[in-house]
């Protein structure tokens, strides 16, 4: 990326502004761990403040655009063709427990297509971004998915559903099937970062069910622009950003992983 586009400049500015308050709040959370009650209310407030900050920054540049945000839900604007999809704090449980693995995720959808995405890890100061047909980057470094095509030496990330016993049972079956072929499984608890790590070649693949669009939208584009593949686990015709059932992987392991998951 020789030059940062005006659109990405706005996204970076919004993410970095929200990150400053989140990093301060994260420092406070680490001090609250000794409390029996825990810092839950404090983190909820931090989440909302970050979302408001992102909303205000983007709204200044694009006052007519619409928004879909984790905390506030759908906020329609005059322009319903352009929708900003925002997760101000992906990895909330990590944040809540003082674990330094969480991120801000911002994506822009234009007429049904994700055209720009950003995932920012403020603790490590790693900014993953992509614009449609322009490639994926970490800051100004070009990102490419890994070239490993052997599941036995691959690192595969996943996430466990919480909402129902049936979904947990399916997850354990999928986990067991993948682990039989790939012992390097990881579960870090921040889907947006998991997708960014696939794009950066740190993981060879990632799968998770029951995600929300704000968990997936930015990371999905970053994976695609880094040369990876992403789909709905069950049906290639479905959009994983909408269904939340996501499989992402490099070229060599996408088909084998999909075959394993579908066999379950």
What is the structure's pLDDT at 161? Answer: 79
Residue 26, C-beta contacts closer than 8 angstroms, at least 6 positions apart: 46, 95, 98, 100, 102, 123
- Looking at domain 6-142, which CATH architecture does it have? 2-Layer Sandwich (3.30)
- Worst-scoring range by mean pLDDT, 7-16, 23-32, 71-80, 235-244? 23-32
Distance CA 246, CA 22 (A): 27
For the domain spanning 151-263, the CATH number is: 3.40.190.80
Distance CA 109, CA 239 (A): 13
Tell me the sheet residues that pair with 107. Answer: 85, 117
pTM value is 0.94
What is the structure's pLDDT at 24? Answer: 92
Contact between 113 and 8 (Cβ < 8 Å): no
CATH 3.30.540.10 domain extents, the chain: 6-142
Contact between 142 and 136 (Cβ < 8 Å): yes
Contact between 230 and 220 (Cβ < 8 Å): yes
The mean predicted confidence, pLDDT, of the chain is: 93
Q: Strand order in 246-249's β-sheet? A: 184-186, 155-158, 205-208, 246-249, 229-232
How many other CB atoms are there within 10 angstroms of residue 160's CB atom?
Answer: 14
pLDDT in tens, 107-124: 999 999 999 999 999 999
CATH 3.40.190.80 domain extents, the chain: 151-263
How sure is the predictor about 36, in pLDDT bands with cuts at 50, 70 and 90?
Answer: very low
Instruction: Spell 123-132 as b/e; 16+ CB within 10 A means b.
Output: beebbbbbbe
Mean pLDDT of all residues in 135-146 = 96
pLDDT in tens, 201-258: 999 999 999 999 999 999 999 999 999 999 999 999 999 999 999 999 999 999 999 9
What is the token pair recorded at 215?
Answer: 């968990």
């Amino acid at each position: 990326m020789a030059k940062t586009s005006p659109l990405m400049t706005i996204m970076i500015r919004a993410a970095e502004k929200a990150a400053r308050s989140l990093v301060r709040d994260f420092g406070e959370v680490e001090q609250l761990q000794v409390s029996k009650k825990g810092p839950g209310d404090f983190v909820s407030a931090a989440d909302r403040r970050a979302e408001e900050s992102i909303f205000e920054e983007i709204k200044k540049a694009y006052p007519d655009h619409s928004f879909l945000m984790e905390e506030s839900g759908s906020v329609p604007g005059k322009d319903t063709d352009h929708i900003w999809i925002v997760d101000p704090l992906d990895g909330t449980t990590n944040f809540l427990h003082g674990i330094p693995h969480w991120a801000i995720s911002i994506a822009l959808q234009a007429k049904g297509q994700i055209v720009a995405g950003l995932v920012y890890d403020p603790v490590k100061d790693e900014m993953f971004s992509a614009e449609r047909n322009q490639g994926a980057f970490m800051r100004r470094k070009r990102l490419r998915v890994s070239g490993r095509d052997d599941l036995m030496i691959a690192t595969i990330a996943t996430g466990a559903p919480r909402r129902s016993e049936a979904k947990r049972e399916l997850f354990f079956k999928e986990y067991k099937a993948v682990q039989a072929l790939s012992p390097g499984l990881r579960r870090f608890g921040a889907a947006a970062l998991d997708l960014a790590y696939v794009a950066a070649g740190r993981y060879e693949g990632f799968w998770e069910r029951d995600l929300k669009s704000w968990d997936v939208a930015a990371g999905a584009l970053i994976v695609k622009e880094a040369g990876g593949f992403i789909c709905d686990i069950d049906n290639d015709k479905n959009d994983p950003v909408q269904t939340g059932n996501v499989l992402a992987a490099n070229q060599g392991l996408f088909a084998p992983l999909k075959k394993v998951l579908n066999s379950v």
